[in-house]
């Protein structure tokens, strides 16, 4: 999930997806989402340049970007303002603004890394295409029954061969993958306080409340009720 003002840096070959809520895709919806993206080549800085003492923080930033970085706080506010300004610059002045942005990001402590230290994207070529098909299918259908037979046939595989194919590439079973997507969506709904837990269970594709509670605890390490109560207490203490 994402919200207004989010600021994320993703390095090369790092899978990522930002998807709006279903309401944005309704036929008569007037809702819209706008994002600003800036690409810069990692070869912008040579190895010799990054080896210099003055570029220590920039080098660290480039290394961390491979894992994905989400910035927050004053850093996010500063960069979002600069991103709007860079759009109006031309020529060399635009390059200067880009360097200013990189300098702020490289010297900031206000960030979270988005993947584990040992993460590498193992999906290459045909694998990447197949895993994208799987991901798109699950994201489209996770609120209803997920058909193992259907997704296997989309990849021209039997269900057995698909399960054997998927697990080593995702480091989890297909069932676990689907449950993580569903539980991720349920966590968002639990914070909105518009539905009771039973409604959320069915909204996220679980046919039995007991199974939803069991899967939620296995993934989040607390019950849905405890999760909602925890963030309600945090919200109350802040306000």
Of residues 54 and 3, more confidently modeled: 54
Q: Give the pLDDT confidence score for residue 218 in this predicted structure.
A: 92
**126-238: CATH, from 3.40.50.2000, 1.10.10.60, 3.40.50.10470, 3.40.980.10:** 1.10.10.60
Positions of E strands within 106-183: 111-113
Q: 78 pLDDT exceeds 80? A: yes
Q: pLDDT of 100-119, one tens digit each?
A: 999 999 999 999 988 766 55
What are the domain boundaries of the chain? 7-113, 126-238
Q: Give the pLDDT confidence score for residue 171 in this predicted structure.
A: 80
In the numeric block, the tokens 């690409």 are attached to 39
pTM, entire model: 0.56
Rounded to 10 deg, the angle between the 91-106 and 73-86 helix axes is: 170
């Amino acid at each position: 999930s994402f919200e207004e003002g989010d600021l994320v840096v993703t390095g090369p070959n790092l899978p990522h997806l930002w998807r709006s809520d279903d309401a944005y895709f309704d036929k008569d919806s007037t809702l819209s989402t706008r994002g600003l993206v800036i690409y810069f080549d990692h070869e912008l800085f040579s190895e010799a340049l990054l080896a210099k003492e003055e570029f220590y923080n920039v080098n660290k930033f480039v290394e961390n970007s491979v894992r994905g970085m989400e910035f927050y706080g004053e850093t996010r506010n500063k960069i979002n303002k600069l991103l709007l300004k860079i759009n109006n610059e031309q020529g060399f002045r635009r390059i200067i603004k880009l360097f200013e942005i990189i300098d702020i990001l490289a010297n900031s402590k206000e960030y979270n890394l988005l993947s584990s230290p040992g993460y590498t994207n193992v999906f290459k070529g045909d694998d990447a295409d197949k895993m994208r098909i799987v991901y798109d299918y699950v994201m489209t259908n996770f609120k209803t029954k997920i058909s193992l037979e259907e997704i296997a046939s989309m990849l021209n595989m039997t269900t057995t061969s698909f399960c054997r194919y998927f697990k080593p590439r995702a480091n989890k079973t297909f069932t676990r993958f689907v449950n993580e997507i569903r539980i991720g969506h349920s966590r968002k709904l639990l914070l909105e306080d518009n539905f009771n837990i039973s409604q959320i269970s069915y909204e996220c594709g679980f046919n039995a409340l007991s199974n939803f509670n069991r899967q939620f605890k296995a993934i989040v390490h607390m019950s849905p009720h405890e999760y909602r109560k925890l963030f309600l207490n945090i919200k109350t203490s802040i306000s």
